[in-house]
Structure 1
Amino acid sequence: MGTNSSRMTVATHTLTWMAHVCPRRPDGIVTSDQIADSVNTNPVVIRRTLGHLRDAGLVESRRGVGAGWRLTRDPQTITLKDVYLAVEPEPLLALHAATPNQKCPIGTGIPPVLRDTYDRAEESMKRELATVTIADVLRDTLTSPS
């Protein structure tokens, strides 16, 4: 069985927390330790996540005095699809790594059928994620009953 990735959740939490906290700071900078405290994970996990988000152009880092991270885009313009594409390198659903028995009619025919179905499912998910922004997540998080 494959593993269940929480990269998307950690990245969304990170960006949502940043969208809430960064505007309250004169320089808009936060540290990975501060973010890790909210996510309740190791700062190394947050730094790895921030690296992917930086590569996607969603955050930037500052070195030296006042080092840390800040958003590069308005939270209204960052969709969950952007986050997903930044942190999930593998398809949501994947075929088995081993080639099925090519002498079996199911083994021969099932990979393209499943690949097409999985591709359509992933595209549907991406369309849905594109309708929700980090600003939406922040608003709904702050107004939802705990």
Structure 2
Amino acid sequence: MAANSQFSMAVHVLAMLAGSRDENVKSDRIATSVNTNPVVIRRLLSQLSQAKLVVSQTGATGGTRLARCPNEITLSEIYKAVSCGEVFALRPTSPNKDCPVGRNIEAVLCNLQKEIDKSIDQKLAGYTLQSIFDEVATKAA
């Protein structure tokens, strides 16, 4: 099963924008850094725009920039902006309710899922986009 890369791609894009200060950055340039198609980047930027993490302008001088300072954007906000569901999914069909495991497994897994989601949110809330950008910049030096 392939892992979803939306979050890591979003952090990459936003770190690029953090390094560009208030300059608008075109999706083609971002796509080159991420090594993907500009259409993929534009879709991702749309999600980030809906979450009010970026602002975009169209036209010759257009592009995208951060909506807020990088030290005000948490990784938790980014994760929520691009998250496509829980860490794992429950089966689409109900298990056999005549079986003692089948009768109780969904409730147990649902509670586990909630605990994991809460832990992820708490952990990511402890990091800002600025802290990620600073670490990337340190490694680049």
Which bin holds the TM-score, normalised by the shorter protein? over 0.9
CA-atom RMSD in angstroms: 1.5
Aligned to 1:42: 37
Tell me how far 1:89 sits from its aligned partner. Answer: 2.9
Q: 2: distance between equivalents of 1:63 and 1:40?
A: 22
Task: Report the counterpart of residue 77 of structure 2 in structure 1.
Answer: 82
**1:130 counterpart = 2:125:** yes
- Give runs of aligned pairs for residues 20-99 of structure 1, distance below 5 A: 20-21=19-20, 23=21, 28-99=23-94
Aligned residue pairs total 141
Q: 2:4 maps to which residue?
A: 5
State the 1:145 CA deviation.
Answer: 6.6
> Which structure 1 residue ranges, 5 or more long, are not aligned?
none
Percent of matched pairs sharing the same residue:
40
Query: 1:16: which partner in 2?
Result: 15
- CA distance, structure 2, for counterparts of residue 93 and residue 73 of structure 1: 31
Match of 1:103 in 2: 98
Worse-matched range after superposition: 74-83 or 136-145? 136-145
| SS class of match (1:4) | coil
List per-residue Cα deviations over 1:78-116 (Å, max 9, x = no partner): 110000000013112221122111221111101011100
Q: Any unmatched runs of 5+ in structure 2?
A: none
CA separation in 2, counterparts of 1:144 and 1:119?
35
